[in-house]
Amino acid sequence: MIAVTARAHTNIALIKYWGKADAALMLPANSSVSLTLDQFYTDTRVAFSPQLTADTFSLDGVLQTGAAVAKVSRFLDHVRDMADMDLRAQVQSVNHVPTAAGLASSASAYAAMALAASRAAGLQLDHPALTRLARRGSGSASRSIDGGCVIWHRGIDDESSFAEPIAVNPALDLRMIAIVINHHAKKVSSRAGMAETVATSPFFPAWAQTAEANSQEMVAALAGDDFKLVGELAERSALMMHATTLAANPPFTYFQPGTLAALQLVQTMRAQGLPAYTTIDAGPNVKVLTTAEYVDAVADQLARHLDNPITICAPGPAARVLQEETVDD
Ligand code: 2P0
């Protein structure tokens, strides 16, 4: 048997995925567009073995139990089905992402696992098939198979719901600054939050329709050289997504006071001439989209006015295999 270690970088959506059309197949209600980041990634090693009687999963060196292992096991079932085999696996992940802090750790986690597990099972999946497999682990993981900017096509079935890279005008030279407002695990997971929104928020149908159109607009904007257009679309998509949760029943929000403080600071910076726009995921942390030309000036202002740690990111690479080892059966 071979053990395969793969690395995948996290991605931040510029047009958000928020809500499923089909939870079993992990089909989203709308297409989404993202930027893969260079600074945050997950390394995952997968080894199938006839000696194992159950799947095992360790995260950052800590052996996991219960629901965490069951989720990985269900994902591996897809790989076993595709490879037509029934071996159990040892899965070891190391996260270079603040886990569950709204920095999309499940995206890099399941993208790395999809690549490592499929190769370890002897599969040579083509690119769309690999993004579809990652999608089964976590929707946003489909977008972490590729580097740079990526679109995840909503699709209407398993075959048509896949991700692919999109052309970005080099003149845009995008950068993203991650601001950690709170590193503690969030109370409402993305999965639970989006399910509640779909079920109870009257804003949801309007969201899904607008987000689908915005994804196509973002693809066009990324091909152009108007950063303002890209930034405005991204900030608006995030705020529209968060508006759906405020209208859910019961209502909820991922915002914390520090989230709004960062948002308002960026709006003030923009009024003073700095091209910077915010995006916020299913957590309190804020990411600031800007360009290479202005990233130092934006980071300087953030450091001056906020006490929160920041990380400056550039577009990151596609998922890749780091190592293949032959191991004893
Ligand atoms: C996104 N998020 O587009 C959106 C914006 C969070 C807010 O994708 O249930 O962990 O595993 O498909 O991918 C987070 O949701 O959810 C997410 P599942 P996932 O990045």
Vertex 132, ends 158 and 177: CA angle to 5°? Answer: 130
CA distance 274 to 101: 27
Q: How far is CA 143 from the centre of its chain?
A: 7
Among 17, 22, 34, 33, residue whose Cα is nearest residue 208: 17
For the chain, what percent of residues have pLDDT higher than 70? 97
Render pLDDT for 233-266 as a digit per residue (tens, 0 to 9).
999 999 999 999 999 999 999 999 999 999 999 9
pLDDT on residue 329: 67
Distances (CA, A) of 159 to 77, 79, 114, 219: 18, 16, 16, 21
* Ligand 1 center to 9 CA (angstroms): 15
Ligand 1 mutation target, pool 12, 15, 99, 106, most atoms within 8 A of CB: 106
CA 119 – ligand 1 centroid, Å: 25
Q: What is the mean pLDDT of residues 209-221?
A: 98
Q: Whose CA is nearest to atom 12 of ligand 1?
A: 139
* Protein residue whose Cα sits closest to atom 17 of ligand 1: 140
Taking alpha carbons only, the member of 84, 35, 82, 29 closest to residue 199 is: 29
* pLDDT tens-digit map of 256-308: 999 999 999 999 999 999 999 999 999 999 999 999 999 999 999 999 999 99
Q: Is 104 in the pocket of ligand 1 (CB under 6 A)?
A: yes
Report the C-alpha gap between 212 and 217 in whole angstroms.
9
Closest ligand 1 atom to Cα of 106: 10
pLDDT tens per residue, range 8-54: 999 999 999 999 999 999 999 999 999 999 999 999 999 999 999 99
Q: Is 316 in the pocket of ligand 1 (CB under 6 A)?
A: no
Q: Is the CB of 32 inside a 6 Å radius of any atom of ligand 1? A: yes
Residue 6 is predicted with a pLDDT of 98
Question: Could you give the CA distance from residue 171 to residue 226 in angstroms, rounded to a whole number?
Answer: 9
- State both tokens at 214: 């915005």
User: What tokens were used for 49?
Assistant: 């073995």
Q: Is the CB of 138 under 6 A from ligand 1?
A: yes
- Per-residue confidence at 70, pLDDT binned at 50, 70, 90? very high
Spell out the long-range contacts of 214-218 with Cβ–Cβ below 8 A and sequence spacing 24 or more: 214/15, 215/15, 215/30, 215/31, 215/32, 215/33, 215/151, 216/31, 218/14, 218/15, 218/33
pTM value surpassing 0.95 = yes
Cβ burial of 156 (10 Å; 0-12, 13-18, 19+) is exposed
CB of 279 closer than 6 angstroms to any ligand 1 atom: no
CA of residue 273 to ligand 1 center, whole Å: 32
The CB of 88 under 6 Å from ligand 1? The reply is: no
Predicted local distance difference test score (pLDDT) of residue 232: 98
Distance from Cα 210 to the centre of ligand 1, integer Å: 17
Residue 28 Cβ contacting ligand 1 at under 6 Å = no
CB 278 within 8 A of CB 2: no
Look at ligand 1, atom 4, and give the residue with the nearest C-alpha: 17
Residue 84 — pLDDT band, cuts 50, 70, 90? very high
Is 127's C-beta closer than 6 angstroms to any atom of ligand 1?
A: no
Listed residue (15, 6, 10) closest to 214, CA to CA = 15
- Residues 161-185 have pLDDT tens digits of 999 999 999 999 999 999 999 877 6
**Residue 100, pLDDT above cutoff 50:** no
Contact 18 CB / ligand 1 (< 6 Å): yes
Structural domains in the chain, CATH included, are 1-329 (3.30.230.10)
Binding site membership of 191 for ligand 1 (Cβ less than 6 Å): yes
pLDDT at 97 exceeding the cut of 90 = no
